[in-house]
Amino acid sequence: MTQGTAVRLRHCAKTFAGGRQVLQPLDLDIHPGETLVFLGPSGCGKTTTLRLIAGLEQPDAGGQVLFDDRDVTGLPIERRDVGMVFQNYALFPNLDVAGNIAYGLKIRGLPRAERDARVAELLAMMHLEPLAERRI
């Protein structure tokens, strides 16, 4: 398996229409291969941060999203090579838990054995192994 990509946010803030700031300026470093969990109350910026990384949102002026040392701030989602599973599972209700986790890896063309190993690793990390075959 590959080691992954460093993800860095530099001075990323997000303000929506009407001046409502949903994300205070944020500097974040995620190291290659590191798994990170965002925890916090509703409205604190967890989803907005993920949307900035994926390219579904753009940061306010001056913010940068970097993959390794490459600035991808203006790069559209389809060119970022990022998978994202939304909070609402309705996107893939026909798949089981493992299938939802594996979907992005499959689309990227990861070989089956490598994909299965990564899914098993993530399920174990989250203590969700018993739910792997559960229909959503």
Give 10-66 pLDDT, tens digit per residue.
Answer: 999 999 989 999 999 999 999 998 888 888 888 899 999 999 999 999 999 999 999
Side-chain half-sphere of 14: how many Cα atoms within 13 Å?
Answer: 21
Cα(98)–Cα(83) distance, integer angstroms: 14
Contacts of 58 (CB under 8 A, 6+ apart): 52, 73, 74
Q: Which CATH number fits domain 7-79: 3.60.110.10, 3.40.50.970, 3.40.50.300, 3.30.450.20?
A: 3.40.50.300
C-beta separation of 9 from 52 below 8 A = yes
**Every domain of the chain and the residues it spans:** 7-79, 89-131
Give 61-105 pLDDT, tens digit per residue.
Answer: 999 999 999 999 999 888 888 877 666 655 688 889 999 889 888
